Amino acid sequence: MALQQELIQKAQSKEVYDEIADDIFRLRELRQQTTIENAARDKQIKRINDLQDYIAQQTTRLTAFDESLVRRWLKQITV
């Protein structure tokens, strides 16, 4: 926001403001990339939490890890 205000001031006083405009575009792209990365991380955390909840709800005690069972379960929750 501060850069946008500075850009407006420089534009009004007819100063060269390409550098500030480039910074604004770079920061917008960085914000968009960060938003996408956060969404992907949040989705992964949700899947982990869902798996933990599923395991906690089981009435029998788990004694071994069954990767094929986990993969089938993951397919069910992603559909």
User: Measured between alpha carbons, how far is 60 from 67 in angstroms, rounded to an integer?
Assistant: 17
Amino acid at 56: A
Report yes or no: 73 and 53 within 8 Å, Cβ to Cβ.
no
Q: How many residues does the chain have?
A: 79
Please tell me whether the overall predicted TM-score, pTM, comes out greater than 0.75 for this model: no
Write the pLDDT tens digit of every residue in 7-66: 777 776 665 667 777 888 999 999 999 999 999 999 999 988 988 898 888 888 767 888
- H or E, element range at 29: helix 18-57
Write out the two tokens for 28.
């917008």
